[in-house]
């Protein structure tokens, strides 16, 4: 078989491959609708329509299923054909078959492996990352050096506030105790006055 004949044969094979993929896709979509049942419309069985009749869920489901199935398959088929998917699949299949041939050595001007060729790029990228991290560390250190005195000042002010609060709480307790003692003395004085008044009478 000459080269032209071989190319035509491959083109036919790839075209058939794309057609098979489309067929499987359409079948999978069609199966989705076959798995649907009228039970989806059971909540509508008790809803009356015009004339007081109930909704025929079986008929409603059949109409819904037919319309949804037809529109879905039509849209997918149109999308498949209008976006050149058969040609793309054929090209991918061709590339996959060519890439599967590992018997030929890959020619490179440097004579190095792919890993060896990209090693300088990897090192350069890692160096950039290290430089970025160094700058971040420097920034954080500067930020810490400027914020540390403020933090110490805030801590000292907080400690002072806590001490003042404790002092005020202690003083409040002292005054409360003194007030209770004064109340007790007032009660004693009132009772004494009552006794004196009673004796005078």
- DSSP structure string for 126-161: HHHHHHHHHHHHHHHHHHHHHHHHHHHHHHHHHHHH
- Phi first, then psi: give them for residue 112, nearest 5 degrees: -95, 165
Ordered by start, the domain boundaries in the chain are 3-99, 134-200
Q: Is 84 left (phi over 0), alpha (psi -120 to 50) or beta?
A: left
| Residues constituting the chain | 201
pLDDT truncated to tens, each residue of the chain (201 aa)?
454 555 556 566 666 777 788 888 888 888 887 777 767 666 666 555 565 566 677 777 788 888 888 888 888 888 877 777 777 777 777 767 665 555 555 555 666 776 777 788 888 888 888 888 888 888 888 877 777 777 778 888 888 888 888 888 888 888 888 888 878 777 877 777 777 777 666
In the chain, which ranges are continuous DSSP H helix? 3-34, 57-82, 85-99, 114-200
Cβ within 8 Å of residue 62, ≥6 positions away: 38
Cα separation, 158 vs 166, whole angstroms: 12
Q: Which pTM value belongs to this model?
A: 0.36
Beta bridge partners of 54: 48
pLDDT at 41: 64
Q: Count Cα atoms within 13 angstroms, Cβ side, for 92.
A: 9
pLDDT at residue 43, as a whole number:
62
């Amino acid at each position: 078989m000459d080269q032209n004949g071989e190319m035509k044969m491959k083109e036919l094979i790839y075209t058939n491959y794309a057609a098979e993929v489309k067929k499987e896709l359409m079948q999978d979509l069609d199966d989705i609708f076959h798995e649907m049942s009228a039970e989806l419309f059971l909540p509508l069985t008790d809803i009356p329509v015009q004339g007081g009749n109930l909704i025929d869920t079986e008929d409603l489901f059949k109409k819904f299923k037919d319309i949804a199935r037809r529109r879905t398959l039509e849209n997918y088929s149109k999308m498949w054909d209008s976006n050149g998917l058969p040609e793309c699949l054929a090209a991918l299949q061709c590339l996959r078959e060519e890439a599967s041939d590992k018997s030929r050595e890959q020619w490179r001007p440097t004579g190095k492996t792919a890993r060896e060729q990209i090693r300088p790029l990897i090192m350069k990228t890692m160096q950039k990352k290290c430089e970025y991290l160094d700058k971040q560390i420097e920034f954080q250190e500067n930020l810490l050096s400027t914020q540390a005195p403020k933090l110490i000042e805030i801590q000292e002010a907080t400690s002072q506030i806590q001490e003042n609060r404790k002092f005020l709480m202690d003083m409040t307790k002292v005054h409360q105790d003194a007030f209770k003692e004064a109340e007790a003395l007032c009660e004693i004085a009132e009772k004494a006055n009552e006794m004196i008044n009673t004796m005078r009478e």
